[in-house]
Structure 1
């Protein structure tokens, strides 16, 4: 009887095992596609920072997918719970303030939606991070920001400063992180700093330069362990202060242009500090919170007394508030004191402030852990530095997109705290492999 070779019968042949069908392959491919599309969609709301309902709705629709993911990331569930309490606090304070303040349901809805948008978007992005890895998630988010530019960016005056710099920086640094090239991080950060300096963006130039310095310093051995994590942030703060002194000296020597030099000199002469002179809203914030420490409510409109209190605080810094800016921008129709801390405290009270402090604390712990392990990327550093700056010097609405990505990128994955021999690589839990492997290992 003639024996037909296995190869001709369609079998596996000698020494080969039959290929088994992977029943989960289609599900994983669908998860991958949904996660990638979600990252792009959430990022596309930049720079239309008030258009947050789409991102919140898209994230809410897939909540059954990402709610169980929160327990994998340190602080994520706490952030969600405290954020919901902050929204309720803002509405309750609005009700108490209705006696001496005008109340707007539109303001209450929009301000509550901003916090809800952060909570929902971070939850969805953490789920996407567990599916496709952090560098790829951040890169796609940056790609979405670039796609969103034609729908809302201002290109009339200084397009780099007011439109292009943030999305381009996040996209390029995300791709560099994905590629796993630290030298490329340094090159990109220095180039971004020079471009920002040439386009009269002083704070952005300093942020990029500081991030470049810290990425370079990672080559210096650093003690590992939880006990040293917060000291890593202390070193980061020292580097930041030195970069600030260097940038201020360069400005005052005229290296960044005559107009920048003259404006900076006027700000220092008025308040004694480049920061206070450039951000007189800090005076208004402090005065308003001393006047009413419990906050004003997410749906309250400022009263004439509130405006006068804010103006007195700004005057104490040598700033003339009687120029229309206070009435037209800061207190029309709601409160806007040009800092995340101030906005959250005024709108959502002490509960909102507690939510913000604890959430930022978890995020900074993630940064410090990455610093001590010498694994931090240029994008993580840039987002961390920018968020700390925005806490004191930028409005909540315009900071939503970068702050959301920062939280989603740096919250510590609990699975990565296990010994290397027993933990899976990347953010994805142990199980079937991804459809294809990224250029750099996810973190």
Structure 2
């Protein structure tokens, strides 16, 4: 059974496409449905994930039919988007099940091997191999091995080195996340010497504080030229353009906010943008001092559906309110699960990094293969079983009070 669980993680992460939108991972998930549906159903947030995810799939189909009156539609695109969401839900279920058999670290390691296999199968990006292909698989594998070693100094060193490598390869966001994760691992270790545990709320507050400080520090280092003059010049231009490094680097935020404001219930998983949608999106991007009339908007963002470079935006537009609600459910699971582990001084560097990565991707990364793979692992590693209330019931009924 352990071999099957490890192979399942590898196949889910490898994303081997069989036919349009259908991967080997989805087929395997359907075969393993009787075992993983029970495993995820017993987890906190598992039922909400399955139910809301199912409603999101239906919502995408219904919205496509509704907007067919004044928008072009594409059945092939609808199939791909639908199976992408199915793959997310099934992937979470399978990896949760595998974790109950293998344990957290071996599950993460097997998943990292699958991510590496995906790079081999799909080829590499010649422009920036580390940023677009190797960073996530390498980070998952290295941090999973550190988790197996149970050596704090090795985990912190790995996070710092991975952060520096990412920053040197123009992956500023990943570098920030890894450095913040290293800081939180150290804070967790120091806190363990002072007290055995902390509250979840306090831990979430520390998360936010360290994230802001870490990002600001890395931005200062980049602007000072620590990671190369080219990165400094590019960052300065983005800040000058929109007043913020984030907004300057992600003008698609303007398009997503305007489109969602104009279509709060979404547009559908098979709907293609029309001229009105393009005008709305370009207006939002222009407000960030970005020139949208360069072909990027027509070809990449809206050439085949809607791609606003944000998981929240993509899910909301393609699957409506239920798509957005699904992501919110998953983010709550990740936030509370990781904060609970940190509060108990037992969160790994991998878990902390994945949490930061998932929240970043929810706003600044498209809903596609890499972000889906990260979200699957991030959710699956922090899900905890629901309390067994049936076991607690006899204890309550057997209690007899003699107080008058």
1:301 match: secondary structure: coil
TM norm structure 1: 0.84
Which residue does the alignment assign to 1:8?
Answer: none
Are residue 44 (structure 1) and residue 25 (structure 2) matched?
A: no
Report the alpha carbon displacement of residue 205 of structure 1 after superposing the two structures with TM.
0.7
Gapped regions of structure 2 (runs ≥ 5): 392-404
Are residue 217 (structure 1) and residue 173 (structure 2) matched?
A: no
Give the aligned length: 387
Contact 1:47 1:145 in 2 (8 A): no
Which residue does the alignment assign to 1:238?
Answer: 209
Are residue 196 (structure 1) and residue 177 (structure 2) matched?
A: no
1:299 match: secondary structure: coil
User: Paired residue for 2:382, among 410, 429, 436?
Assistant: 410
Q: Distance in 2 between matches of 1:265 and 1:349?
A: 36
Give the alignment of 1:339-358 within 5 angstroms. Answer: 339-358=310-329
Q: Distance in 2 between matches of 1:334 and 1:253?
A: 40
Contact 2:91 2:376 in 1 (8 A): yes
Deviations 1:114-164 (A, max 9, x none): 111011111111111111111110111001111221221424112111111
Contact 1:47 1:152 in 2 (8 A): no
Deviations 1:244-288 (A, max 9, x none): 110111111111111111111111111111110000000001111
CA separation of 1:399/1:52 partners in 2, compared to 1, >3 Å: closer, same or farther? farther
User: Paired residue for 2:372, among 394, 400, 403?
Assistant: 400
Give the alignment of 1:2-17 within 5 angstroms. Answer: none
Which residue does the alignment assign to 1:79?
Answer: 49
Are residue 280 (structure 1) and residue 251 (structure 2) matched?
A: yes
Contact 1:46 1:149 in 2 (8 A): no
User: Paired residue for 1:366, among 312, 337, 346?
Assistant: 337
CA separation of 1:225/1:193 partners in 2, compared to 1, >3 Å: closer, same or farther? closer
C-alpha RMSD over aligned residues: 2.1
Are residue 117 (structure 1) and residue 82 (structure 2) matched?
A: no
CA separation of 1:238/1:52 partners in 2, compared to 1, >3 Å: closer, same or farther? farther
Contact 2:17 2:23 in 1 (8 A): no
CA separation of 1:175/1:120 partners in 2, compared to 1, >3 Å: closer, same or farther? same
Report the alpha carbon displacement of residue 416 of structure 1 after superposing the two structures with TM.
11
Give the alignment of 1:133-172 within 5 angstroms. Answer: 133-172=103-142
Give the alignment of 1:254-403 within 5 angstroms. Answer: 254-397=225-368, 398-403=370-375
Q: Distance in 1 between matches of 2:294 and 2:272?
A: 20
Gapped regions of structure 1 (runs ≥ 5): 1-30, 420-443
2:201 match: secondary structure: helix
Q: Which structure is larger by alpha-carbon Rg, 1 or 2?
A: 1
2:293 match: secondary structure: coil
Are residue 130 (structure 1) and residue 104 (structure 2) matched?
A: no
CA separation of 1:139/1:248 partners in 2, compared to 1, >3 Å: closer, same or farther? same
Which residue does the alignment assign to 2:25?
Answer: 55
Q: Distance in 2 between matches of 1:399 and 1:289?
A: 21
CA separation of 1:180/1:365 partners in 2, compared to 1, >3 Å: closer, same or farther? same
More helix by share: 2
Contact 2:310 2:365 in 1 (8 A): yes
Contact 2:256 2:281 in 1 (8 A): yes
Contact 1:47 1:148 in 2 (8 A): no
1:154 match: secondary structure: coil
Which residue does the alignment assign to 1:208?
Answer: 178
Contact 2:16 2:25 in 1 (8 A): no
Which residue does the alignment assign to 1:64?
Answer: 34
Contact 2:21 2:84 in 1 (8 A): no
Q: Distance in 2 between matches of 1:416 and 1:253?
A: 54
TM norm structure 2: 0.92
Report the alpha carbon displacement of residue 410 of structure 1 after superposing the two structures with TM.
0.8
Q: Distance in 1 between matches of 2:384 and 2:165?
A: 32
Report the alpha carbon displacement of residue 413 of structure 1 after superposing the two structures with TM.
3.0
